[in-house]
Structure 1
Amino acid sequence: MMALQDNEIRLLLVNELYSPGERPQMTFKVVSLNNPPPFVALSYVWGDLADTLPLGVGEHIITATRNLHHALESLTVSKKYQALWIDALCINQDDFEERASQVAMMGDIYSRAEYVLAFLSPQSDPFNMGLDFMEKTAQNPEMHFDPSLSPHLTVDAPRLAAFGLTASDPILQRSIIDFFGTPWFTRVWTVQEFLLARKVIFRCGKRTIDAEVVKKCCRSWIDHSKTCCWSGDQPRHGNTHGFIDTTWDNSSNLTLYTATLRMKPLMDMSSRGRLHSIDFLAAISLFRIRQCSDPRDRIYGFAGLYLSGIDIKRELQVDYQVSTALLFRNLAATLIEKSQTLDVLSHVLHESRIDKRVPGLPSWVPDWNATMNGRQHLLYTDRADRIRRCHASGDLGPGWAFSASGNVLIRGLQIGKVKAIAPGYPSSSKNSTFGGKETIDSWRRLAGLFETLPLEEGIQDSQDIAFQNALSGGFTWANESVDYPDAYKSWLEWFTSTNPGSLPVACKEITQEFDDLMHQTSMHRCFILTDNGELGFGPETTVEGDAIVILPGGKVPYVLRQVEVACQGTITYRLLGDAYINGAMAGEKARSGMSGFEDMFLA
């Protein structure tokens, strides 16, 4: 291949003049990225690197994955794409210097392309019905997807002799789920390719759909699922979203609800002004459940997005000689030093449902390669975003002393120890027998509230108010149309009801909104009573005797577990996770206990 000069790229030119059945003629052309001709950048999943086929480009024979062959066959048959940029072909993969240079330019390449073509599948048939429904939803966002409401969306599939299909029909759900179940929606590298593009077109075989249409469709589903089309089911019924959260026989084990969640982070990041205002920590957490063959790419794969906070390319550099554990540790330390906050600690997840995969990490370092499902991910990202508004340590900065061993010397204020615990928000498992009433009863007993549920008007003593504050995690109630006590009462009636599906339509939005608040506070957590009588929620691994500590730079308290005492008397702790504790979230405890901060080690 001809060598590239500064700011040059290769384009793959496809000859239009070929007959059906012939292999298209392709050649390379070197152009300047300063003033390139119109070209389309391909976004795709490489596939199995061991499953390759030879590909002729001019005088060159290049090895390409079978998945890329499928993409090229699909694209060249249409004769629409005369100039393409494809990373595996247009970068000389055997020239390490060129590869490093071109990878550094990929942000500019995708942003200067006429549009980015996201290739999902060489087939159209499995997706046609779902694509029709998504296009119709985008055109009619006010229409319901719940077939019990009117007007609701329907779609026809004449080839299958199926007419008037609704979102509750398994055959339509499978088609939509299969679209979001394609590998493209699971990979780290496709994120920046989507976000940097001027325009994105999804392609399935012969069918295409504009990404803006997909976003409008998903926005409509999300809005309707929060209000009118919310089923009102309780977690003990398996989910709270009814038929849209039913698992059908599909290989990805997705539901219509969890499939939509795969699009939501892309929608959030690509909204106007959002891309360059979001910081690096928030970005990598939004796409934490995406996959990559090298776990270090969970960090390096976002280096081209020009995010706020830290310049990852300058602070850490892209270096594949560094181990995954050391990279994750260096990232956590850099985020703490540069932000002067402990926000990164809220991304440490030690729950039993999280499959951690990087050994040797200190307890204070997030395992970015840990796996979780879509529901857990949505809950965790919403919670991490909300707690940034808290100020448990006031204006105090972290001042951590890092060591090569991974242990850090810190100062902390112990504000209590865990005296008793109760289970958190009920599991969404269909095998769970712990319902809403049992949950509330156990929480109230722990809080010392033994009387019946306070649904009557006027019953609001200080203990009840403290209990309600604990349930909402102290988060501000943003809905100005309904008072917090009324929202709490509506939610409590639904949560403890034996017939939750009968919830009036007028109450659905406020109840679902409050339930979202409850999820963020208490799901995958346990209810806590401290030895000082304070209520709150902490990590589900919390046990009696664990310490509740405020750390300078932390916006929330943390639950620590003692592991050893050094000969000088300095205690070493292990971080379990962050917590909500009544009366500690706005700096009250930190201000009143300034003299109580003492040295401790965090392992």
Structure 2
Amino acid sequence: MSAEDLASNNNPGRRRKRNRNQSPEARKKPRLDEGTSHPVQAKKQLQQATISVLKYLGKRPDTFVYPPLEEKNGQEIRVLIIEPGKGDDEIRCKLVPAALPKSDPSDTEKYVYIALSYNWGEGQPIHPITITNYITSKKRMKEPSLEKRLAMKFRKHKDWCSSGEKYVRSNLFVALKRFRRKDKETIMWIDALCIDQDDPHERSAQVKQMHELYIQAEKVRIWLGDGSTAAKEGSPKDCFNFLRRILGELDKLLDDLGKENTAVMEAAKQVVVQLMCNKWFSRRWIIQELALARTAEVVYGNQTMPWSDFADAIAIFIKSQDRIGAVLSKMIADQASSTAELGLVNGVTNLGANALVDFINNLFRRTENGDIQQRMLTLECLVSNLLAFEATNPRDTIYAVLSLAKDTHKLSTETNVNAKNLQLDKRLLPAYQNCLLDVYTDFIDYCIGSSRSLDILLRHWARSEESDGRKALLSEANSDSEVTEERLPTWIPLIHKSPFGLPTQRPRGRSNGDSFAGTSFRSSQRNYNATLSLRPEFSFGRMAYSSKTPNRDRKKTYNGTLFVRGLRIGKVKKTTPRAAQGMLFNNSLNLAGFDIRWWEDHHEWAKGIPRVPERFWRTIVADRGPDGSNPPSWYPRACLECLYNVNSNGDLRPDDVIDLKNASSIAKLFLARVKDVVWGRRIVSIELENEKTTFGLLPPETKKGDIVCVFFGCSVPVVLRQQEEEEEEEEEEDNEEDNGKKYYFHMIGECFIYGMMDGEAVADRKWKRPYRHAEQFVIK
């Protein structure tokens, strides 16, 4: 027994506190000592062994060392000068400190450079390139003295040298060979090489000026790869020729597709399968790289096309989807080897390529010469809508779009800084060294303060750290840290619950229903107003450190607790199965009073009721049309018509009706809306606080007994699940004190409650902050 345990036993009043930041399930697990024979311990040892193997087999030792950049008003960068070469010649580069071309005068040289936009790619960096540190393009950097070497804090090697090898991934290696010239140096900026990716402080500093880096580049070159993975008939040349035909002779092209011209069909297929699914289109950073570029070109293998032409061709391709899709669907169905390929044609509008083209046109208002005149979208809107684009580091979910938002910068008030300089809100400053919880909490705090709304808690935009699988192990193999996952609180909405899930899942089609709190980037108007114009009252729990805790050990600011004021409006009374694929199962229809036996004889909803009950049909379309407006007057008529098509089990399958040639157009439009709303959700009955009963659409994780609330400042109700706080254990039975049960809540998600979406819950009295008479919910 340890000295601590002995001291605890000798003091009857002393309590042993358990870690309240852990989930109840985690607290119940036994504590593991080194050598404990336990499945969890064994799994941890296996993970560590796997990482060691990956390090040995895949991670090559870089011998190149980055000297720190000098801090000169935060405007110093590095440029990469690729030395002449051809074929399989060794790739040799110079890495040169430089000032931004349009920065204030300084003693650092300025270079005209091309910025590369590309996908880092999968796998380990296995291709060596030689890089030499230069003071200028002609003057090589000398080895620093011991004193300076210690001051510069080189982490990788004790012996510093000005040249060394750095290993890169295949996609970048091929790009360097592609853009290297035979007889002339090429000056480029490439993030993986020009930024020390192992230094979080340097990465944070460079990200702050990323927008200027792309604005001031001579050109942004978009690298889609060498096309080596494409089939013979889908070469980069054939692919780009097809895009050029879209721009020049669309009608003839569509006629050829209609006649099932094999060569044209194969080219069209490659545009969908190879090009539209290119990994470059799923990167979040490309939005900034492309939107800020004065001139951009797309390079695919040996083919080049101006971005403006490429974007127009993609937009026209999507616009002509009705005519192209039928032909390609049949062709792909005959050749598909997976269900993902089968749904690819119909899901092409959800892919990053289409989303990128659509989004770029809505970011800025520009002058005639192409300068940015006005940014159009807020940071909250950008993060909430850019769900088709992923980031390797979850922090880049926010950092990658900071420079595109209209509300993140403010004029500097510092007297020693030019008045034109813009300063980021301190909560948004890039800080890769901060834990993910702190980054997300600061972002949410900023959004709530800016919008005066809690809706950012309900839109599914956040991505957690990778915690399992080969990808996670490979990423961890680059460091000496253990394989761990930062557990995020339930009030941070994760992207896998968004309508189309993770970016990699989008080609498979819809995963969840549309968000009730979601807003289109074309309009900031809310669909609902559950708490009218009341402002939120909230706060975040912070870590408690003693005054003796060293700063280096204060790794977190927040503890993952959210305090928010609101009202309980009801409790879940009955649930039905989740609406998989948007189906309305007989359980849901029965819950609303539909009697299929009576219906077969009378085709009425129920005896004495000649039409569909208002609260039911309005619930399954969330009482809105597809554009967020009030539902059309013909929705109940269409709903009634759809009930003629329930199957033998009493279920209504929307796709069966939509595919019927003789089904009316209003029935198809109605069911399309129903699918978008109910997909994956549960239709439930809610017992309100006034003992009345109503219908609701709740998340698939909902259980009977969950409570439904409205938070002040939130446009839609939320579902919470009460959790009992595990009490502190008494060492002596006679020392027990009954202080009552303590509890907190888990956030289950947003919901639609019929009759509670337009302020009904708060309209009976006047409310004033800080809402002392309302309940304070503690959410973890």
Q: Normalising by structure 1, what TM-score? A: 0.77
Instruction: Identify the match of residue 166 of structure 2 among 58, 63, 69.
Output: 63
**Number of aligned residues:** 564
Deviates more, 1:528-537 or 1:301-310: 301-310
Counterparts of 1:66-465 in structure 2, within 5 Å, are: 66=169, 67-76=171-180, 82-91=186-195, 100-123=204-227, 126=231, 127-128=235-236, 129-139=238-248, 152=257, 162-165=262-265, 172-174=268-270, 176-220=272-316, 222-224=318-320, 248-249=336-337, 255-260=344-349, 261-273=351-363, 276-288=375-387, 290-308=389-407, 314-347=426-459, 358-367=485-494, 372=502, 373-374=505-506, 375-376=509-510, 380=514, 384-385=518-519, 388-404=526-542, 405-427=559-581, 436=583, 439=584, 441-450=586-595, 452=599, 464-465=613-614
Q: How far apart, in 1, do the equivalents of 2:253 and 2:526 lie?
A: 35
Distance change >3 Å, CA 391–CA 452, structure 1 → 2: same
Q: How far apart, in 2, do the equivalents of 1:601 and 1:382 lie?
A: 23
Distance change >3 Å, CA 43–CA 539, structure 1 → 2: same
Q: How far apart, in 2, do the equivalents of 1:267 and 1:164 lie?
A: 24
1:556 aligns with 2:655: no
Q: How far apart, in 2, do the equivalents of 1:461 and 1:361 lie?
A: 50
Q: Note the residue ranges of structure 2 that are not aligned, 5 or more in a row.
A: 1-66, 104-109, 141-162, 366-374, 411-423, 469-483, 543-558, 646-652, 728-738, 768-772
Who is 1:587 aligned against? 759
- The answer (yes or no) to whether the contact 1:303–1:313 under 8 Å persists in 2 is no
- Give the superposition deviation at 1:365: 1.8
Partner of 1:535, secondary structure, is strand
- Give the superposition deviation at 1:385: 2.1
Q: How far apart, in 2, do the equivalents of 1:289 and 1:177 lie?
A: 17
Who is 1:54 aligned against? 129
1:113 counterpart letter in structure 2: A
- The answer (yes or no) to whether the contact 2:534–2:713 under 8 Å persists in 1 is yes
Q: How far apart, in 1, do the equivalents of 2:744 and 2:492 lie?
A: 16
Partner of 2:762, secondary structure, is helix
- Give the superposition deviation at 1:407: 2.9
- Give the superposition deviation at 1:480: 11
- Give the superposition deviation at 1:31: 5.8
2:302 counterpart letter in structure 1: K
Q: How far apart, in 1, do the equivalents of 2:356 and 2:512 lie?
A: 13
Task: Report % sequence identity.
Answer: 21
Who is 1:533 aligned against? 693
Partner of 2:763, secondary structure, is helix
Who is 1:44 aligned against? 118
- Give the superposition deviation at 1:579: 0.4
- Give the superposition deviation at 1:252: 8.4
- Give the superposition deviation at 1:528: 1.6
- The answer (yes or no) to whether the contact 1:13–1:82 under 8 Å persists in 2 is yes
**CA deviations over 1:482-528 (Å, ceiling 9, x no partner):** 75436656777785685743436993xx6665444323321121112
Distance change >3 Å, CA 534–CA 95, structure 1 → 2: closer
Distance change >3 Å, CA 349–CA 19, structure 1 → 2: closer
Partner of 1:347, secondary structure, is coil
Partner of 1:191, secondary structure, is helix
- Give the superposition deviation at 1:533: 2.4
**CA deviations over 1:210-263 (Å, ceiling 9, x no partner):** 4444444444454455x67787xxxxxxxxx88779993489868234454222
**CA deviations over 1:2-31 (Å, ceiling 9, x no partner):** 977554555545678x77776788667746
**CA deviations over 1:344-385 (Å, ceiling 9, x no partner):** 2213599xxx99995432221224688632134785568622
1:266 counterpart letter in structure 2: L
Q: How far apart, in 2, do the equivalents of 1:339 and 1:445 lie?
A: 41
Who is 1:599 aligned against? 776
- Give the superposition deviation at 1:141: 6.2
Q: How far apart, in 1, do the equivalents of 2:458 and 2:200 lie?
A: 38
Distance change >3 Å, CA 300–CA 144, structure 1 → 2: same
1:443 counterpart letter in structure 2: S
Distance change >3 Å, CA 55–CA 298, structure 1 → 2: same
Deviates more, 1:483-492 or 1:522-531: 483-492
Q: How far apart, in 1, do the equivalents of 2:185 and 2:356 lie?
A: 25
Q: Normalising by structure 2, what TM-score? A: 0.61
Who is 1:475 aligned against? 624
Q: How far apart, in 2, do the equivalents of 1:587 and 1:206 lie?
A: 60
Q: How far apart, in 2, do the equivalents of 1:282 and 1:541 lie?
A: 26
- Give the superposition deviation at 1:542: 1.1
Q: How far apart, in 1, do the equivalents of 2:604 and 2:323 lie?
A: 27
- The answer (yes or no) to whether the contact 1:38–1:114 under 8 Å persists in 2 is yes
- Give the superposition deviation at 1:559: 1.1
Distance change >3 Å, CA 49–CA 248, structure 1 → 2: same
Distance change >3 Å, CA 199–CA 22, structure 1 → 2: same
Q: How far apart, in 1, do the equivalents of 2:700 and 2:409 lie?
A: 32
1:545 aligns with 2:705: yes
- Give the superposition deviation at 1:203: 1.8
Q: How far apart, in 2, do the equivalents of 1:513 and 1:263 lie?
A: 27
- The answer (yes or no) to whether the contact 2:444–2:456 under 8 Å persists in 1 is yes
- The answer (yes or no) to whether the contact 2:220–2:297 under 8 Å persists in 1 is yes
- Give the superposition deviation at 1:388: 3.1
RMSD: 4.6
- Give the superposition deviation at 1:461: 6.0
